[in-house]
Amino acid sequence: MSQPVLKVEHLKKYYPIRKGAFSKEKAVVKACDDVSFELRAGETLGIVGESGCGKTTTMQSVIRLIEPTGGAILLNGQDFRAMKGAELKQARQKIKLIFQDPYSSLNPRMTVKDIIAEPLDIAGVCKDKAERDRRVLETMEQVGLDLSYVNRYPHEFSGGQRQRIGIARAIVLRPDVVVCDEPVSALDVSIQAKIINLLRQFQHDLGLAYIFISHDLGVVRHIADRVLVMYLGRVVEEGESRELFAHPLHPYTRALLDSVPRMDADGRPAAALQGDVPSPADPPSGCLFHTRCPYAKEVCSEKVPELRECSLGHKCACHFAGALPLNAN
Ligand code: SF4
């Protein structure tokens, strides 16, 4: 098997907070706690969970948009966390980001050409203006943007076209890893499929590895090879996409799947996930999911379940993984 392009080990991002507005007592929000994964060329890792589950903090820590509190990040075998200055600048060419919102992520005062060329300019990789223009036009062609748009501004484009500009900006330096942060959630359903297919095409052509962050399990199922399910900053289930969607082990994963809008066998809306995500400033004891879990027993509020391998490559953090009935009711 090939070496991972990205290896993340026990990644942590903790935020110290005050317990109350007038309290001196300190607490820690564990926005990303002990997250580990590997990513190989041509592979897509999906990270799913509700809003506030830690997906975005994990992604921002991995690419060092924010500095992690602990853990290791190896990019092509090199210690990414230890890098500084020119070495970090060089390494950042290999890991790029596609933002969620194509409406706010593009500078309205820059032309399409300058937006796509910005990473080339920062990296200083083009020997002259002719090479810069050639690489911009080549990338525009790859993402299906009409070359006559090169001097236009973002407001002149639809959401789908703006996301194509965002993708062009992310791939123009030919990175190894692209982090896609909810890249289609702001787009119409009809456009989503086109953008997903475009991402898959690049993966096939350029061997890109993706981290695909989404709350939409339907989209993740379609694109991801492996999936991490996160809850309150921790990974609660991990596995091959096909296996995880066919045989979800963790009650939270099952609840997320049940929350995907659909009708059950009787034609009634399927059960949604009950209750709200607890405050990360005051998380539940033991299993973080026990306040919402229909299977919770006494031990669940007392003991933190380990993320353990239940079948080959399929891990779950539940005291009763593999022993739960298929339905709570
Ligand atoms: Fe539910 Fe207990 Fe499993 Fe947590 S450990 S998911 S509370 S059954």
SS3 of 89-123: HHHHCCEEEECCCCCCCCCCCCCHHHHHHHHHHHH
Q: In terms of Cα–Cα distance, which of 251, 230, 237 is closest to 306?
A: 237
Q: Which residue lies with its CA nearest to atom 3 of ligand 1?
A: 318
* Ligand 1 site residues, Cβ closer than 6 angstroms: 250-251, 287, 289-290, 293, 295-296, 300, 305, 318-320
Q: What is the pLDDT of residue 146?
A: 94
pLDDT score of 100? 81
Q: Which residue has the tokens 């969970």?
A: 49
Minimum-distance ligand 1 atom for the alpha carbon of 251: 6
Q: Which of 117-121, 215-219, 270-274 is the least confident region?
A: 270-274
Measured from the CA of 299, which atom of ligand 1 is nearest? 2
Question: Pick the residue with more confidence: 105 or 44?
Answer: 44
Q: What is the mean predicted confidence (pLDDT) over 184-189?
A: 83
**What are the structure tokens assigned to 247, written together?**
């045989």
Contact 56, 213 (CB under 8 A): yes
* Residue of minimum CA distance from atom 7 in ligand 1: 290
Look up residue 254 and give its two tokens: 């099952």
Q: Which among 31, 13, 12 has a CA at the least distance from the CA of 281?
A: 31
Report the mean per-residue pLDDT for the chain. Answer: 90
The rounded distance, in Å, linking the Cα atoms of 72 and 15 is 18
Q: How far apart are CA 262 and CA 260, in angstroms?
A: 6
pLDDT (tens digit, 9 = 90+) per residue, 101-110?
A: 777 889 999 9
pLDDT tens column, 250-287:
999 999 998 766 544 444 444 457 778 888 888 999 99
At residue 104, the pLDDT reads 82
The ligand 1 atom nearest the CA atom of 297: 2
Q: For the chain, what is the radius of gyration of the CA atoms?
A: 21
Residue 305 Cα: closest atom of ligand 1: 5
Atom of ligand 1 nearest to the CA of 288: 4
Q: How far apart are CA 306 and CA 327, in angstroms?
A: 23
Q: In the prediction, which pLDDT does 36 show?
A: 97
Residue of 252, 300, 307 best suited for mutating to test ligand 1, as the one with most atoms within 8 Å of CB? 300
Going from the Cα of 289 to the center of ligand 1, the distance in angstroms, rounded, reads: 6
How does residue 37 score in pLDDT terms, banded at 50, 70 and 90?
Answer: very high
**Rounded CA separation 219/99 (Å):** 16
Please state which of the ranges 25-29, 245-249, 260-264, 314-318 shows the lowest mean pLDDT.
Answer: 260-264
> How much is the pLDDT for 215?
87
Query: Residue whose CA is closest, atom 6 of ligand 1?
Result: 318
The verdict on pTM exceeding 0.85 is yes
The amino acid sitting at 55 is K
Candidate from 237, 291, 295 with most ligand 1 atoms within 8 A of CB, to mutate: 295
Mean pLDDT value of segment 193-213:
92
Q: Provide the residue type at 121 as one letter.
A: D
pLDDT > 70 in the chain, percent? 93
Give per-residue pLDDT as tens, 131-174.
Answer: 999 999 999 999 999 999 999 999 999 989 999 999 999 999 99
103 or 219, which is more confident: 219
User: What pLDDT score was predicted for residue 276?
Assistant: 80
Separation of CA 287 and ligand 1 centre (Å): 6
- The answer to whether residues 58 and 234 touch, using CB atoms and an 8 Å cutoff, is no
Ranking 33-42, 68-77, 141-150, 188-197 by mean pLDDT, the lowest is: 188-197
The residue with greater pLDDT, 279 or 224, is 224
With contact defined as beta carbons under 8 Å apart, do 288 and 302 qualify?
Answer: no
> What pLDDT is stored for residue 263 in this prediction?
45
